[in-house]
Every structure is written in structure tokens, then in C-alpha cells.
Chains A and B, each alone.
Chain A
């Protein structure tokens, strides 16, 4: 047993797991799958209310589990997976085979619990159990059609009655026991086609229903996980194997992490024996393995994966124990490398401990260290980073480079509900930021710099095509997030449709480029008081006067539209301490304030003047067509 599991078992035996819950995340970090399963069984015994009583700020999504077969085995797996991300699972499992009633009746008990996530776990038995004896392929097609109709109905009921809920569905792996019963090979192929068409229909559901996520089980099976344990399926109606449920729970864990705003943004790569084979300092650029030869090809494959992630908005950084100059020269000139200097937003090559470099990179990139995924082949470096920076996701690769891609991708660290245009250009934006920083160093004063930066800011009601990005800002922004109210896409749509509410999008550009949609403000008018429900700004553009300019525009709008006062709130989290005095500094007076929350008001008598260095365009009325459904 590993030390971590021993420690966890000790906490369990002493009955103090709830009390020590914040320690659990770190204890689970390095566990194997089998150990994690065991940890899950211990954690599932802990009363979530006891954890919340001791640690009220623990993000604790409500998860309702329903489906066709026996699913109680899923509860410990979910509990462990969420705990790995510092979350607390509040799971309620429905009665056996209750999914149709649970999900197609808007008044069901399941919806009454107001779940954040509903897991509707279906399997092939949902079809097989209803086949006549003997059966034909047409019977399978008919039952599949019926079940899909029910699933689609469930998605509609959930979207209409419980729009903030994410409904998680899954594909139904087709068991050989079913296909082998059809002897005519052409008919057997037809069975496969009918089945896959039904799965494809399931997989397309999220296009119509943004609240639906479909977990595709096929890739998990392709990696060698068994669909089921036949005896458990026959005797106990547990139709999906523990291994498959564990893999499924892993995906749900990542989904819950994204739900709670714990998105990963940065991939920090070690270089020697991670990105290329060999130690650069020992073998020199011509001696490293990349591009050619068996191992060189394996490293090249890994580099391609890193580039693929970067193309989707992941910020690549290199963190290497090397001298800087040969590293940069190698990344610039080595003909066998796919990853190049320009693929990285930052390159750190020095001899300091890696956790210090990571912490420094986090500061420079203006993100938390828990936005990092760190890949290294050294157990020492991995252990040190895990210990010093528990929020960093550590992926340890080994001496077999062919396995590197799977190690990195085996967990959906960078999965997102929906990638936006902003994501795709994020690495470019961060490199522009580097240029800005270099430009800054040429000035004696910040004012001079800001004047030359030539910032233009646009504030206007968010348009339908921007809703996904607005939702993402509320999910990903932790520092400049006054109330940290996370909005899923469906929440943004609901707000935009609410005549009393207004969702403003903030865009900015400067001489180095377009920063894109960098902020959002959520307003609500109640009689003659304008409430700022939330105010968010991307960490890339803090401290350039943009926040004060936008707030000033909102205040002017309030006065011009006849509001008597503006009220705004602040809710403290571990990350947003630096904006606690954002409103008071803009002339708001404090109405109430305690340790966790504060309410401010502005009487609109004296408004803050505009920042001289920013060109502002502000519009608060909706243009024709704006706010329409996409």
C-alpha cells in the first residue's frame, strides 16, 4: 500500500475524513486505479454534509445517477474522482431502472433535488432486455428507436424544466453476445450498422441541446477495458464493468471540474526525455532523439500531440533543467523537432527547482498554479511539484516515449464544454502579451506606456454568438471575478432572454492586436436600482484601466437611464482577494460587509472620470437581431 493510501485509510479508521477533507486531494494525486477504487469506497462512506459543515467552501456539485442497470458501484468511483479535483460529490442514486420516470417527468423527485449533473447511464441491456424470443435485427432496430425517443424526450424535459442541469448520456457498447446470435453475416453487419446509427444519433444530441454531454465509451473500450463482467451482468444486473464505470467516472470528474471553474490552461513540459530523448546537456543537439529512429519517432508523436493541444488554446511552456541558450538554439534550429520556440508562450531553462519556475510562470501568465498540467519523466521532479503545488496536475511519463501521448491524453485535463474563437487564438494573444511586456520595459512610467498602448474598449450587450465565450469567462476567471457566480451556457441564454437582466460583453484591442472578448458584466434592474450581479475581466488585461473604464460606463448608463443608485456585491473566494476593494475605489460606499461578502452602493452623484488613455465605445441598447437564439 502506498503511503498516501495508508494515510487515507488512517483518516478513515479514525473517523476524521470529513474533518480533514482538504487533505484528501493531495493524498489521491498519485494513486493507481485500484487504489483509487479503494479510496472511493472509503470516501463514499463520508457524509457530504459533514464535510460541508467543516469546510463550507468546498465546491460540491449535486449529482443524480439514474439508468438501466445496477449502478451503485458508480457512487464510490464518482466520489473518488471528484475528490481528486478538490470537489465534493453529493451523489444520489435512483432506484433500479428508474431512468424513464426520473427524466421524462418534469415533476420527478430527481429534478426536485435540483441536480447540477444528471448521469443517465445506459447499456446494451436496455435494448436486449426487451427483445422477443426469438428476435431479428428489425426487433433491435425497433427497440433502439423507442429508447432513443425516450432519451430525446428526456433531453427536452431536462432542458425545459431544469435548464441549469447538465444531462450526461453515454454510448451503448454492443456486446458480442448479441451480434454472435445473428448467423447471417449480412444481417449481423446490418445489426452493427443499426446499432452504430443509434449511437451516432445519441452523439449528435448535444448539437441540439447544449445542456447534454455524451460520454463516448468506445475509446475507453479500445484501450482494453472490458464492457462488463458477464456474471455481474446476469446475476446482479450490473451491466457495465467496474473498470468501465471507473473510466466513465473519470470523465465525469473532469466535467465536474470544468463545471466548478477548475479549467486547466497551461501545459508545462519538461524537455529532456519528455519532449525529446536524451539529456541535451550531455549529448548535445545532434545527440537528442527526435524525428528519426524508433525512439525519435515516438518523441515526435508526442510533440505533435502537444502542438495539437496548443492549436486549441492550451498554453505551452517548457520547464527544463538546462542552460537557456542551448535549449533555445535547439528549439530554433534542430531539424527533427516539430515543437518550435514559437510554439511555447514561455521557455524556462535554468537550474532552479521546477515548482519555483511553475509558480513564477503562473504569475507572469496571470493564472493560478492550479491551471497547470506538468509533464515530466523524473519521479523526483513530479513528487516535488505535487508536494509543493498540490493544485498542479502532474503527469509522470516514463522511459517508454511511445506511451507519452496516452499518459498525457488519458485524462481529459484540457477538456472544455465548448471551445470558443478566443481559445483558438489564446497562445497568440499570450505571445502578444510578451511583446507588450517588452514594450513596457522601454518606458519610464506606466502612464507613458498605457498612452502608447492605444487601448480601445467596446462595451455592448452580448450577442448570441458570444454567449459561449461569456459563459467560459465566468467558468475560467478566478481572480477578477467579483462574485464568482459560474454561468453555464444555458444560464447566459436565460439571462439574455430576461428583460430585467443584461449581459454585457467587453472587448478590447491595442497596438499589438485584438484582445477579443475579455470581460463580462451582468446587470439586473429592479425598479430604479441597477444591480451589478457580476463583473469579470480576463487576467490578460488587468490593470490597464479597462476595468475602471467599463465600470464608469455602467455608472453613466445607470444615471442616464434614470436609475436612483447602483448596487454591487462582492463574494470572497480563495482567488479574488485582489478585487475586494474594486467598488470602493470607484466611489461606492459600503452597505454591508463581513468576512465573505460585501454589498456596495453608488449614489451616482459624482461619477469617475474616463481614463484618458482609453478610447471607449459603450452601447447598452440591443441592436436589431441581438440576443436572438443562435
Chain B
């Protein structure tokens, strides 16, 4: 996963979330069919994709999907 588009594909195909790049900055509550449990799955998937460990505590506190994406690709 390198680009934000890859991230959207992952959200779409792996989590079955119908989101676009534009939705990423919205607060999680306003994302269509969002459930907080998605953050757990997302964290696991991102760790698998990137081969790096993420702080689950930080992911759980992320205000938006964009914030999660930034954590996953942060250098």
C-alpha cells in the first residue's frame, strides 16, 4: 500500500466500506456504515500490508480515516 488510492481500495475491498478519497477526512461517525470495530480490523490489515507495527491505542483515537492512513505510511 503506497498511495491514498490504495488505501481506499483496501477500505473498499477488505472492509467493504463504500468510501472515496474525499470521505477520508470526515469524522469517523459520519462515514457511512462505520462501526468502531472496523478500526481493529483496519489496524490488523494495515500491519499485514505494511509489515510494520502500529500503535493500536493511537489508531483507536484517530479522528478520521485520513489520520489512520498517515500513521500507516508515516516514515
Which of B16, B33, B37, B57 has the most chain A CB atoms closer than 10 A to its own CB?
B16
Which residues of B sit under 8 angstroms from A242, Cβ to Cβ?
A: 41, 44
How far, in whole Å, are A45 and B15 apart by their CA atoms in the complex?
Answer: 10
The answer to whether B33 and A232 have CB atoms under 8 Å apart is no
For A, the interface residue count at a CB cutoff of 8 angstroms equals 18
**Cβ 8 A contact of B56, one of A38, A45, A231:** A231
* B60 touches A (CB below 8 Å): yes
**Distance (whole angstroms) from the CB of B57 to the closest CB of chain A:** 6
How far, in whole Å, are A242 and B45 apart by their CA atoms in the complex?
Answer: 12
Main secondary structure of the interface of A (DSSP, over half): helix
The answer to whether A41 and B16 have CB atoms under 8 Å apart is yes
**Distance (whole angstroms) from the CB of A98 to the closest CB of chain B:** 16
How far, in whole Å, are A41 and B60 apart by their CA atoms in the complex?
Answer: 20
Interface range on chain B (Cβ under 8 Å from partner): 10 to 19
**Distance (whole angstroms) from the CB of B18 to the closest CB of chain A:** 9
* Contacts A235-B56, A235-B57, A242-B44; A72 near B14 (Cβ below 8 A): no
Q: Residue-by-residue, is B41-75 near A (CB-CB < 8 Å gives 1, otherwise 0)?
A: 10010000000000011001000000000000000
* B22 touches A (CB below 8 Å): no
The answer to whether A232 and B15 have CB atoms under 8 Å apart is no
The answer to whether B41 and A41 have CB atoms under 8 Å apart is yes
Q: Residue-by-residue, is B5-49 near A (CB-CB < 8 Å gives 1, otherwise 0)?
A: 000000011111000000000000000010101011100100000
How far, in whole Å, are A231 and B56 apart by their CA atoms in the complex?
Answer: 7
* A456 touches B (CB below 8 Å): no
Residue of A nearest to B37 (CB): A72
* Contacts A9-B13, A41-B16, A231-B56; A236 near B40 (Cβ below 8 A): yes
Which residues of B sit under 8 angstroms from A13, Cβ to Cβ?
A: 12
The answer to whether A235 and B37 have CB atoms under 8 Å apart is no
**Distance (whole angstroms) from the CB of A36 to the closest CB of chain B:** 13
The answer to whether A73 and B40 have CB atoms under 8 Å apart is yes
Q: Residue-by-residue, is A222-236 near B (CB-CB < 8 Å gives 1, otherwise 0)?
A: 000000010110011
**Distance (whole angstroms) from the CB of B13 to the closest CB of chain A:** 6
How far, in whole Å, are A12 and B12 apart by their CA atoms in the complex?
Answer: 10
* A42 touches B (CB below 8 Å): yes
**Cβ 8 A contact of B40, one of A9, A38, A238:** A238
**Distance (whole angstroms) from the CB of B66 to the closest CB of chain A:** 21
The answer to whether B40 and A45 have CB atoms under 8 Å apart is no
**Distance (whole angstroms) from the CB of A567 to the closest CB of chain B:** 48
The answer to whether A232 and B14 have CB atoms under 8 Å apart is no
How far, in whole Å, are A236 and B38 apart by their CA atoms in the complex?
Answer: 11
* A488 touches B (CB below 8 Å): no
Which residues of A sit under 8 angstroms from B60, Cβ to Cβ?
A: 235-236
How far, in whole Å, are A235 and B58 apart by their CA atoms in the complex?
Answer: 10
* A166 touches B (CB below 8 Å): no
Residue of A nearest to B44 (CB): A242
The answer to whether A38 and B37 have CB atoms under 8 Å apart is no
* Contacts A41-B41, A70-B37, A238-B40; A232 near B56 (Cβ below 8 A): yes
Residue of B nearest to A72 (CB): B37
* Contacts A45-B33, A72-B35; A232 near B16 (Cβ below 8 A): no
Which residues of B sit under 8 angstroms from A9, Cβ to Cβ?
A: 13
The answer to whether B57 and A73 have CB atoms under 8 Å apart is no
Residue of B nearest to A17 (CB): B16
The answer to whether B16 and A73 have CB atoms under 8 Å apart is no
A interface vs B, CB < 8 Å?
A: 9, 12-13, 38, 41-42, 44-45, 70, 72-73, 229, 231-232, 235-236, 238, 242
B interface vs A, CB < 8 Å?
A: 12-16, 33, 35, 37, 39-41, 44, 56-57, 60
Q: Which 3 A-B pairs have the closest CB atoms?
A: A72-B37, A231-B56, A42-B16
17 CB contacts below 8 A, A to B, read: A9-B13, A13-B12, A41-B14, A41-B15, A41-B16, A42-B16, A45-B33, A70-B37, A70-B40, A72-B37, A231-B57, A232-B40, A232-B56, A235-B60, A236-B56, A238-B37, A242-B41
> Knowing that A41-B14, A238-B40 are A-B contacts, what are 6 other residue pairs whose CB atoms are under 8 Å apart, sorted by A's residue number?
A45-B33, A73-B37, A73-B41, A229-B44, A236-B40, A238-B37
